Structure formats: C-alpha cells, structure tokens
Chain A
Amino acid sequence: MDRNHLKHQVLNMRRSLFDQLEELKDDANPNFVEEIVTLFYTDSARLIQNIEQALVNKPIDFVRLDDMLHQFKGSSSSIGAKKVKEACTQFGEYISAENAEGCTRALQLIKQEYAVLRRKLETYFQVYRWRDNLDKLRLHICSDLHKEPSGLAICEN
C-alpha cells in the first residue's frame, strides 16, 4: 500500500471536513474528532426522529418544527456538515411557508445528505485508524526486533 497515497487521501478528506476540529485534538483527547462525531450522531439521530414525528402529527406544529430544525442545523454546523446544513435551510423555507408537503420532501433530502455524511465519516475514520494502525504495526515490529538480540545476531551471521 502506498503510504503517501493514503496520507494524501486522508488529508484531502480532512480538508473538506474537519479543518478546525482536527486542530483541536491534543494529548488529552487524541480522538477528539471521533468523540465529537459520535456526539453529533446521537444528537442528530434523535433530532431527525423528532422532526419526523412532528411531521406525522396532524396538525403540524410549525413552530416546534422550526425549533427542532434550528437545533439540528446548529448541530450539523458543529462538524462542518455543509450540505446537511444547506438542506436544513431549504427545509426552513418550507416551514415558514407552512408547506407540509415541501417539508416532507425537504426532510427526505436532509436524511439523504445525512446518510451520505455518515458514510463519508465512517470511511474517513476507517482510513484514519488504518493509517494509525499501520504506524503502530510498524512500531510494534521494530520493537519486537529490538527485543530479540539473538535473532539479530543470527541475522548478522
């Protein structure tokens, strides 16, 4: 596996997603981004569910819907999910127009974007961990080699 290619791939993903979040990582929270993303998942899953529920109820409470959307929007902005956020804006317009059908469609769009986002994030983390793994693996092997002087001696011979 081409190491540089991998690195490049990760970097590309990074730049498009978590620019500043990544920079917040430090020794105390080496997996800061993952933590944040997890938080986001749970929060957003709940919110989406709530929104769906609200749309099902008749008559639709647009005010409450607006609040929930706002929350969701805020949440998605935290990890820099631009497309989701844009979908939310569109949803918001339908809400102010009190267009129930439009809302449903917009919600579908949001869910779509959200699904895409999650897929991307998963891939990102896999690649990321993969790369980390690679590093650790290498370290592991090196340290193993160092532990076995006899092995080395044999090699030398």
Chain B
Amino acid sequence: MMENGFSSPRNDAFPAGLRVLVVDDDPTWLKILEKMLKKCSYEVVIARWHSDIFFSCFCMFLVTTSGLARDALCLLREKKDGYDIVISDVNMPDMDGFKLLEHVGLEMDLPVIMMSVDGETRRVMKGVQHGACDYLLKPIRMKELRNIWQHVFRKRIHEVKDIESLEGFECIQMPRCGSDESDDGYLFTGEDLTVRKRKESENKYEDRDSGDPSSTKKARVVWSVDLHQKFVKAVNQIGFDKVGPKKILDLMNVPWLTRENVASHLQKYRLYLSRLQKENELKTSVGGTKHTDSSKDSAGGFGLQSSMNMHHNDVSNGSYGFSGGNSFVQNVNPKSLEKKGSVSVPITEPKRALTVDIPDPCKARSSQIGFDSSFTPLGSQVDFTAFGSTIPTQYSWCDVPEVQLKNQTKSTQLEDGFSQLPPSRSQHQIQADPIKPAASISSGSSAGDGDIKTKFSDSQYRSNHINHATPVGSSVDSLPVQSKNHIANPQAFDPLSTTAWNMKNQGFNLSCISDLESTQRNINCGIESSFASLDEDLKSRWLHGDYLAMNPGLQDIDFLEYYDPGPFAEAPLHLCDSLRYDYDNLCEPTEYSIIDQGLFIA
C-alpha cells in the first residue's frame, strides 16, 4: 500500500467510500485508475469501452460505435445521487469529454474531473470553462487521486453556505464563482424539499460514520431528467431567441424553483447547445463510417458485452451488482450502437427510454441509452446460462442486439428473437456442459447456419464469429466469449473458472501444453543452465500434477492465452507467457487461425 503523507484524521470516514465514476476509452488506464482509486478506499465504477481491446488478444479488432460516454451518462441517470464525483478523459471516441462534462453539469450537478495526456493551456482552460473542477495530466499519480475528495467537499460547503444565506432572503443574487457548478448550489426556499434532501444525505452517510458537516446538508437543485425536460419544453415554447429565465420559470410552473436556478441552468444549456451543433456535424460524418465498421466486425462485442456485464458478483446466486451499491468494482459495458436507435424496444422501462434532453440526434441516442441500461441486467443473465443455471426469459436480449447488428433491417426479428427463446434455451443448456472440444459444440448448436460451425471451431478464442450468428447461434457464441470476458476481468475470474472450463478445454490442453513446454524450454536456454534444468523439472512436475488434477492451474494456461494472467499457478504462467508474447505480435485473424489449428485439437 502506498504511503503518502495523507494520514490526517479526516481520512477515515468521509473520503473513504466516495463513489467515483471513471470514464475512459483506454482500458489500460481504466484498470490503473480503478486500482488506484480502490487503494484510496473509494468505490469505483467504470464506464468502459467494451468492444475492442479486451478481447482483441485473439479477436479481430472490434470496432464499435461506442456507447462509452453515453453509458456513463446512462449510469449517472440511473442512479441519481449514486455517485459523488466523475472522472473523465477528454478524448473519447464517441463523445467529447467536454460534452460529457456539460451533460453531467446540466443534469446531475456532480463535480467532474478531466484528465488527458495533453496539458496544453488552452485545453485546460477549455475544461475549466466547461465546468470541470480539476484537470489532471496523464500519467496520473496516486497522490493526485487521493485528494479528489476535496472537490466533493467544496461543493457541499458551498451549498451549505447557500442554504444559510438564502433562507434569509427570498431571492438573492449570489456572486458568481469561477466554476459553473457552484451556481446550481442555489437553494430553493421550499422547506420540505430542503428537509427531505437533508434526510436523504444523512441516511446515506449514516453508516459511514461521518460527523463531517459536508455530509449533512446536501440540499441543492438537482436537475432531474423530468425537470430538465420541462425546462427544455419551456425554452422551445418560448423560442430560443426570446428566452429569458423569468419566462421559463413561469412556463415551467415548478413552485420551488427560483429564477436564479433557471438562469444558471440556462447558461449551461446554451453552452451545451452550441457545442452540440458542432458535434452533430462531426457525428454525421463519423457515424456513417462507424456504422459500416460495426456491421462488419461484429459489434459482436455484443454477445461479448452482454456477458461482460458480469463481474465478480456471484454467478451462482445470479445477483449482479450493477445497480446495487456494492463496494467492489463494477465493470459495466452496456453498449449502444447507432443502429439501435431505430428499434424502439418496448421492454425498456419507459422511464429509462426517456432520457431526451435535446432535439433529434440525441433522441436516437437516448433511446439507445434506455436500451442499453435495460440491457445490462439482461446481459448479466447470460452468464448464468452458460454455467447451466436457469435462463431467465430476458435472455433473448442477448440475441436481439446481435440480430440488429447483423442486419439492420431485421428490426422485426426482435419478436422472433423472443419466440425463439425456448429452442435456443435448450440448445444452450446443452452447450453448457461441454465436454468435447469446440467443433462438437458447434454441431450441437447450429440452427442451420453453416457458418457457425466453421467459425466456431476456429474462433473459440475469437469473437468475430458473432458476426454470422443467428439468434440461436449467438447464444452459443456467448459461451466462450463470455468466459473470455471473464478472464479479461481477473476479479470475475475465480468463481467462474473451475468446472465448466475444465471440461471444455480438456481437448485443447493436450496439444497446448506440449507447445508451451517447448517454447518455454527455448526461453529457458537463456537462463543459467543448472537452474534451468531444475526449474524445468519442477515445472513439468507441476504441470503434470496440474493436468491430472485438472485444477485451475491448467485452465490458467488457456486463460493466459486469452489475455489475462489473473491469479495463477506459477508453472503455467511461465509457459503461457512465452506463448502470449508470440500472440501479441500477431494481430491478424488469419494468423490466429493458424495458431488455433496448431494448438487445438479440431
């Protein structure tokens, strides 16, 4: 544990358990930040860019049309008051970090910290202008992260001050501070609301044992989705040019809202809109290319993603921590595609589907968000199926996006997806007990889609097969992919590993091991001879023992190939690393297939 000078008494309660949302497209950084923040005893939730990297060790590089920052927004909207602070990267593929900043400021009024490799002054200035409370430079040190709680604290203090002063006067013109966010600290005089909010925040911090004044008063105007919608409606009604806070206020007809609240919100909104226009221009050009990419390359991160949603929460009891306030890291990858906007899914809870702030382009996005957020829980169910647990009816969701991906026109297949559930379910369960190698599984699975068979055997470790998957096939694919995802997340790794994987990989392991051993021997040549021979001896002994015992050590070999060492037995680690390094150099799927064939018993 890293020791900073941060040992003041205040360190125990308040900053600990601070709920941080981290948004970044770089998976390396996400992992590092996650670790660092957890070391600070913060609760971390990651909005990760699903697709590519995690699986790309053996897959084609999946290009997706994002969802990253939107997922983050989605998460934030889901859980109002669910986060204390947001840390976001500036450059992200789907949404500009500044834009996210605005959204968050507009809707949730949370402190947002920006980060970037680029530390140019004008960039930093831009960040501050958009309301960021801090701008960190990558590489980020842990010390910097330790102190992010100050922003949360500061905000609360400002709000407290505002409450106190406002209670004296009805309408007061507060001096503008540097940051936009403090403006929204204006309080309404509605006592009920104040009291209620205080209670809320008190309850929240009760079990954290905090006696800090910062935690007791959290009354502020939270621009909820509904509120914001009223606002937007009013603005549109009045006409954007003629708009003024007083007029909006009157139209909105919200008793406890003050002119100041509206004024500051309007200011943010204007800023946001102007940026939006720029974004839209970009989006239309980029969105087109992204569409084609994803249709080709399997945003089949889909099947991946759905299973990816499972984290180290217990597979067995079928709980998942997405919306729960669990204290470990949640890796959430709801994924949204541009295309999905075309399908309005009735299953989504209406509330979620409705996160529309703004005109059209966003509408599509919002419905996607709604889609996504509901997708997440469903996605988590998928995992359980692979391990033979009961498949809930929502399972078809996993299929749905893939259908959409595969073929834009198949929006009607949504219905089909559902009706196909029963057959796919049984099939899937068959696959849940794989004993033979890949090829045999695929034969059991194919719903008449020849592609699946061939694809499946090659691509146990690839996800591009998802491209061709029919709804049924997709359920098959999610099996290996799933585990891959699990592997990708070391924390999820353990509970899932043993049984299912054992059986499945048995066929592979035989050839695998011999290859690995030989590679390892090559490496060992460089090592001092006596030691090397001893080492090898032990290793082969371990290996042999491991293999016979079919314990996690063996599986680990495969997992390493996938990508992530995770918690490991030593011998396999050695063997696999060498292999892994080889793999690293091979990014072509064609090369992969060669390797696959070489390694695995077909």
Contact = CB atoms under 8 A, between A and B. Distances in A.
Contacts of B117: 70, 73-74, 77
A24 to B, nearest CB: 5
A146 interface: no
B538 A137 contact: yes
Contact of B29 (A30, A38, A75, A118): A75
Nearest to B36: A24
Given A39-B53, A43-B26, A133-B570, A80 B580 contact: no
Contact of A46 (B25, B53, B563): B53
Given A20-B142, A23-B2, A79 B577 contact: no
A40 B490 contact: no
A75 B568 contact: no
A25 to B, nearest CB: 9
A17 interface: no
B141 A74 contact: no
Contacts, number: 120
Nearest to B586: A45
B565 A42 contact: no
Given A46-B52, A67-B91, A78-B138, A39 B35 contact: no
A132 B584 contact: no
Contact of A42 (B1, B141, B563): B563
A40 B491 contact: no
B564 interface: yes
A24 B39 contact: yes
B531 interface: yes
Which of B1, B53, B534, B538 has the most chain A CB atoms inside 10 A of its CB?
B53
A31 B570 contact: no
A41 B568 contact: no
B294 to A, nearest CB: 16
Contacts of B27: 39, 43
Contacts of A46: 52-53, 56, 61, 587
B490 A29 contact: yes
Contacts of A125: 577
A126 B523 contact: yes
Interface string B132-147: 0000001101100000
Nearest to A69: B117
A35 B570 contact: no
A17 to B, nearest CB: 12
B114 to A, nearest CB: 13
Interface in B500-548: 523, 526-528, 531, 534-535, 538
Nearest to A92: B118
A36 B31 contact: yes
B26 A71 contact: yes
A151 B52 CA distance: 56
A140 interface: yes
A7 interface: no
B581 interface: yes
B350 interface: no
A136 interface: yes
B127 to A, nearest CB: 15
Chief secondary structure at chain A's binding surface: helix
Nearest to A37: B28
Interface in A113-135: 118, 122, 125-126, 129-130, 132-134
B198 interface: no
Contact of B26 (A38, A45, A78, A118): A78
B534 A137 contact: yes
A86 interface: no
Nearest to B580: A38
Interface residues of A, number: 45
Given A42-B563, A43-B27, A77 B139 contact: yes
A38 B564 CA distance: 7
A24 B2 CA distance: 8
Interface string B5-47: 0000000000000000000011111011001100100000000
B197 interface: no
Interface string A88-128: 00000000000000000000000000000010001001100
B57 interface: yes
Contact of A137 (B535, B564, B566): B535
Nearest to A39: B28
Contact of B490 (A35, A73, A140): A35
A78 B28 contact: yes
A49 interface: yes
Contacts of A31: 565-568, 573
A31 B568 CA distance: 9
Contacts of A23: 1-2, 142
Interface in A1-51: 1, 20-21, 23-24, 26, 28-32, 34-36, 38-43, 45-46, 49
Nearest to A63: B282
A32 B2 CA distance: 15
B26 A74 contact: yes
B57 to A, nearest CB: 5
13 contacts: A29-B567, A31-B565, A38-B584, A39-B28, A43-B53, A45-B587, A46-B52, A46-B53, A71-B91, A77-B138, A78-B26, A126-B526, A134-B531
Cβ-closest 3 pairs across A and B: A74-B117, A78-B28, A77-B139
Interface of A: 1, 20-21, 23-24, 26, 28-32, 34-36, 38-43, 45-46, 49, 67, 70-71, 73-75, 77-80, 118, 122, 125-126, 129-130, 132-134, 136-137, 140
Given A70-B117, A136-B570, 18 more contacts: A24-B2, A24-B32, A28-B567, A29-B35, A34-B577, A35-B566, A38-B580, A40-B28, A42-B563, A46-B56, A46-B587, A74-B29, A78-B28, A78-B32, A79-B28, A126-B526, A129-B577, A133-B570
